[in-house]
Structure 1
């Protein structure tokens, strides 16, 4: 079942773009649900620092992605670092994200 234009996709989609970021013009991060069924989601993940760009597609569960969304909504709070991983590091596809506080005023970095 495709997720295009569904309320579900909008709920879990993350799209960050900031031309004034630490990495300069053209940097972005995009996480999009491209497919889902009753048990799994397929995520399309792309990011760029303005010079280099990466893309992967990984499978994850709704609960894991919901946990990431809750963590981002509360960030930064008690936790100063938020880590999300999907797929297998030694497998076909892997996505590892680390969100951290760059400045106490609230600037967030990710890698």
Structure 2
């Protein structure tokens, strides 16, 4: 009879197989807590490039919100992800966020 694996273990194996830095998982899972509900749906973390977090903003008002809270969010995400230090948050053109 086959043995079942925990979902978190499968995710970790997939991340490793794709060559993604496993430390990034903590960043993605911590982003929602840093930004808070319901804002995390309108300003999702969409990527990491070096020491920069890439986010999408649903509206110009959300883009401004990123600008206003950038320093605070960087402090919080850096505190939540030991071993990683991010120095900037950049807003990138969003994919279609209306489906979320």
TM score, norm. by length of structure 2: 0.30
**Higher Cα radius of gyration:** 2
Alignment TM-score, normalising by the size of structure 1? 0.28
Q: Which has the higher contact order (CA 8 A, sep 6+)?
A: 2
The structure with more strand, counted as a fraction of residues: 1
Whose helix proportion is higher, 1 or 2? Answer: 2
